[in-house]
Amino acid sequence: MADIIQLLPDHVANQIAAGEVVQRPASVVKELLENAIDAGATSVKLIIKEAGKTLIQVVDDGIGMSTTDARLSFERHATSKIKDAKDLFQLQTKGFRGEALASIAAISHVEMQTKTEQDEVGTHLKIEGSKFIFQEVVATPKGTSISVKNLFYNIPARRNFLKSNQVELRHVTDEFHRVALAHPKVQFVFYTNGSELFNLPSSNSKQRIVNILGSRTQEKLVPVHEETEVVKISGFICKPEFAKKSRKEQFFFVNNRFIKSPYLHHAVVAAFEGLIKSDTYPGYFLFLEVDPASIDINIHPTKTEIKFDDEHTLYALLRSTIKHSLGQFSVTPILDFEQDQNLETPYAYKDKQAVLPKVTVDTAFNPFKEKPNTSGGKSSYIPKNNAGSWEGLYVGLESQVGKNEDLNSISFESDAITGSIFEDEEKQADYGSTTFQFKRKYIVTTIKSGMLIIDQNRAHQRVLYEKFLRNITINESISQQLLFPLKLGFSEPDIAFIVEIRESLETVGFVFEKITKDTLEIVGIPPLLSESEVGTVLDQLISNHQEEYQIDGFSQNDILAKTLSKSLAVKTGVVLDSASQLALVNDLFACKEWQVSPFQKSIYITLTENNIDKKFN
Ligand code: ADP
Ligand code: MG
């Protein structure tokens, strides 16, 4: 057989390599930003259009390249960062594989302008799909500007695979955050479609975090610091009460390189054990410095996974350091998850004074005194029209039910009309005086054929959800005026989102006095919301918008109503007095869909008389 193996031409090899290095616009952003950092830039500009699909440009004021280097930089395995294999163990730079520019140029239209300090003039060159187009002399400031246009223009399958601009922009922003967080001394400006999204001045690490995530982050951060022979740990963790359901605010940097490490993540989570709910994650911005010889970054083309020589020691050190920080900054060691501090106030009874329960004993009551069974039911222990003697049992409740309530009107199971359809009865249930709260979680009430056990949180979610949707649809907002305007800081993209949904927010009661690029000034809030909850609710709204609900294609109004109802609904663990219980049950059954929560979870279960009878068999 003839020889059949041949070496792939460079442009093909580059395209294959590009498949590994460049998955989406964000990958290009990462490589270009890292090159700018490696070039010693003090100021970096990122400009994108259509989430990077049509343009990604990075302009830096770094060392620049000579004419020859400019041309060479697009060759495969062309790098100035390592010379031989032993350098791999002493890496101080982000790049070293010499693949990025070659890969990017293989799948897009690239133009570069660059000049070194010493050179009088710079170089301008153009490459399209690995094909060299031209190189010419240009007047340009010191540093490098690279623009990447029409990414994947020659790989339609890849291009079609890209997600919506919104999703791709989020990936780009994530990469931008990672590089910017790792290099707070470097100034970064980020423009998208002609408008400025971030402008981060040179600062310290904490200020950088705050500039990226919004001024309210400041109060969340607890510093972390530890120096040992193996590792130097610095950075910040977020206080446990700010733990989130999303994994957005979790950053590990090893020698200033963002990395993903499930193992080290676990160490952090372990340190928070007992302080946060199991379905939430702590936020952290942790910088580890280790001897470059003790890690291997070379295991993945995008260099986000690294191997540590001594992972176990690192794990233990990280965990104890974080525990120490949590302790030192007297972050409450015991949190009562049964009680949601924000929502202690019982449903509908925010401003009411507490009333001591009145307990009266009916001395005349004798449960063994025979009474004629007038209702004719087979097992009616307490006949309806002889209520007098058992009233005593309920005197304590009477005052809460309402003085004029006719106790005789209360139906009991013995009055149940046999054979009626159970479902129909639910709405006409006579839960009058017979609600009680079980385990600060459920409200138990009777209906004609049995018992309803209602999940208080889900029931309230349903009530609020329908109410908010109604307000939004009929555009009739009721607002709670604030005495002093509430100023809240947010990141610029978050503000942009709030502006986008401003109208809907206003229909549920928010009144904005002023919105700048990074602060909200709020003068009115929804009636059920307390001032201290506003920030959290808006945060939740933003992250819900970015995550879970998006895929389901819910409308903006629906997401808003869902988020608000979820945040504001009375939680499990909150004690409800009987008036609140009753109000909640009434409100629930006045809803259009009282069976399921806005999140499609059952609100109640029923125990029929039959079910109960069976248990006694
Ligand atoms: P690597 O970063 O792994 O070395 P790249 O393909 O990203 O590989 O870049 C190749 C080379 O081009 C770099 O080693 C560097 O010498 C040069 N280079 C790339 N970008 C810049 C820049 N912004 N400023 C100066 N030199 C650069
Ligand atoms: Mg590089």
> Which atom of ligand 1 is least distant from the CA of 99?
6
pLDDT at 179 over 90: yes
- Nearest CA residue ID for atom 20, ligand 1: 35
Placement of tokens 């054929």 in the chain: 449
Per-residue pLDDT tens over the stretch 276-285: 887 788 999 9
Longest Cα–Cα distance of the chain, Å, equals: 113
User: 587-609 burial by CB neighbour count: b if 16+ within 10 A, else e?
Assistant: bbbeeeebeebbeeeebbebbeb
Instruction: Give the CA distances from residue 250 to residues 70, 216, 261, in Å, rounded to whole numbers and listed in that order.
Output: 36, 17, 11
Distance CA 297, CA 289 (A): 14
Between 418 and 273, the more confident residue is 273
End-to-end Cα spacing for the chain: 85
Query: In this structure, are residues 115 and 140 in contact, taking their beta carbons and an 8 Å threshold?
Result: yes
Distance CA 31, CA 423 (A): 62
| pLDDT over 70 percentage in the chain | 80
Placement of tokens 């919301």 in the chain: 529
> Which atom of ligand 1 is least distant from the CA of 101?
6
pLDDT at 53 over 50: yes
Does the beta carbon of 65 lie inside 6 Å of ligand 1? yes
User: What's the 75 CA to ligand 1 centre distance in angstroms?
Assistant: 11
Between 169 and 349, the more confident residue is 169
Pocket test for ligand 1, best of 56, 60, 73 (most atoms within 8 A of CB): 73
CB atoms within 10 A of CB 259: 20
Distance CA 408, CA 385 (A): 7
Query: In this structure, are residues 521 and 512 in contact, taking their beta carbons and an 8 Å threshold?
Result: yes
Q: Put residue 521 in one of left, alpha, beta given phi > 0 → left and psi -120 to 50 → alpha.
A: beta
Residue 366: predicted pLDDT: 54
User: What's the 31 CA to ligand 1 centre distance in angstroms?
Assistant: 9
User: What's the 155 CA to ligand 1 centre distance in angstroms?
Assistant: 24
Query: In this structure, are residues 146 and 111 in contact, taking their beta carbons and an 8 Å threshold?
Result: yes
Does the beta carbon of 60 lie inside 6 Å of ligand 1? yes
Pocket test for ligand 1, best of 33, 35, 37 (most atoms within 8 A of CB): 35
Spell out the long-range contacts of 483-486 with Cβ–Cβ below 8 A and sequence spacing 24 or more.
485/513, 485/521, 485/522, 485/523, 486/520, 486/521, 486/522, 486/523, 486/525, 486/531, 486/534
CB atoms within 10 A of CB 561: 26
User: What is the pTM assigned to this prediction?
Assistant: 0.64
Token pair, residue 247, equals 């994994």
Pocket test for ligand 1, best of 101, 103, 117, 127 (most atoms within 8 A of CB): 101
* Secondary structure element (H or E) that encloses residue 320, with its range: helix 311-328
Does the beta carbon of 37 lie inside 6 Å of ligand 1? no
User: What's the 426 CA to ligand 1 centre distance in angstroms?
Assistant: 71
pLDDT at 597 over 50: yes
- Nearest CA residue ID for atom 13, ligand 1: 79
- Nearest CA residue ID for atom 23, ligand 1: 36
Distance CA 98, CA 302 (A): 12
Residue 384: predicted pLDDT: 34
Does the beta carbon of 535 lie inside 6 Å of ligand 1? no
Q: Helix or strand or coil: residue 45?
A: strand
